[in-house]
Amino acid sequence: MQLLRGVVQHYDWGDQQTIPQFLGVEPDAKPWAELWFGTHRGGPSLVKSPSGNQPLANYAGELSFLVKIIAAAKPLSLQTHPTDEQAQSGYQQENEIGIPLDSPLRIYKDASAKPELLIALTPFEAICGFRTDQENSELCARFGWTELGNHLADDGLAECVRWALTTSPHNLPQHMPAWAGRLATMYPGNGGILVALLMHHVKLQPGQALYLGAGNVHAYLGGTGFEVMSSSDNVVRAAFTQKNINIDEFLNVAHLASITSPLVEATQLGDGVWQYPVGTARFGTQRIDVSGSHDVRATHDAEIVVCTAGNAGALTAGQAAVLRNGETVSLSGNATVFRTWGTR
């Protein structure tokens, strides 16, 4: 086992306190939005050693997965992620056009899909996926969202979303839920709020999770979470951000159809060990509630373990480590540890 040094991303929606406290460092008045553990070019981790730090990729190879601690003090963008085919095509097209990888106009930073799993570490609020047309029609009638309801009834969900995003500014309806009212205060008249009113609004408690496959439309509204995803940074945005928005590409990529509850229920594998089922073979995730002692033996080329709370002896809150296949770490104490792995 080797300890890791992650990379902090200072996006404007980040919380100023949570990740510094997690790492045991002094806040600096910057927004600390994400802490990355992986080998993605946007934030490659280092392996700590007495002889000096080295890139994680040199020690364990290029990882197919990326682990993040996310701390959102403000809403993130209304967004979706592409399939592999869409990512490969978009990446090639932007290369041919000559858009630099670090350009704010760049959508496709790599040629990979970005399925992701979000596990709440604190109460976490999000909108994720669309309700059925019947549910939305009933809500529109109940709360007097007449214009939105008429477009949904006349044109269907996909065209209703297109109308909302391409004809701003809007006179937003009255009697919106508090979370939508907060968005309206930040983004007055924005059609993304009409889209959000058609989506599942979820409040996760610690340990609960969302799985976001290709095309899933979502926006995180606030909270701290543990994320695992394929090693990609491809985000297609439609609203609620100062970053690049591309409505046409969003509508091309987004899955504009209803889904059932977006919540993912963890499966208990043993005493204190929970696994989160995901709709991809690219990564896997377990939560280990350490109470006493527990041995973790890596069974994949490389695994990342992160202690998010408590003291597990070999790892304490705020520490992460990499294990190579066959290596074992003995945990002892009372702590929450996440174990993650990927496939090549």
Q: Distance between CA atoms of 331 and 291, rounded to whole angstroms? A: 9
Give pLDDT, residue 202: 97
pLDDT tens, position by position, 30-55: 999 999 999 999 999 999 988 789 99
Say whether 286 sits in a helix, a strand or coil: strand
Quote the pTM value: 0.96
Residues β-bridged to residue 332: 293
Of 12-21, 217-226, 298-307, 335-344, least confident by mean pLDDT is 335-344
Contact 10, 201 (CB under 8 A): no
Average confidence (pLDDT) over 235-262: 95
**Mean pLDDT score across all residues of the chain:** 96
pLDDT tens, position by position, 96-131: 999 999 899 999 999 999 999 999 999 999 999 999
For the chain, give the percent of residues with pLDDT over 70.
Answer: 100
The one-letter code for the residue type at 114 is K
Contact 56, 38 (CB under 8 A): yes
Tell me phi and psi for residue 181, to 5 degrees: -60, -35
Burial string for 82-112 (b: 16+ CB within 10 Å, else e) reads: bbeebbbebbeebeeeeeeeeeeebbbbbbb
pLDDT tens, position by position, 294-312: 999 999 999 999 999 999 9
Give pLDDT, residue 261: 84
Give pLDDT, residue 168: 81
175's enclosing H/E stretch is: none
* Confidence grade of residue 344 (pLDDT, cut at 50, 70, 90): low
- Domains of the chain with CATH codes: 7-126+202-257 (2.60.120.10), 133-197 (no CATH), 267-342 (2.60.120.10)
Q: Which of 303, 275, 304 is nearest to 288 (CA)?
A: 275
Reported as half-sphere exposure (CB side, CA atoms, 13 A), residue 53 has a value of 11
Give pLDDT, residue 98: 97
Q: Distance between CA atoms of 283 and 271, rounded to whole angstroms? A: 22
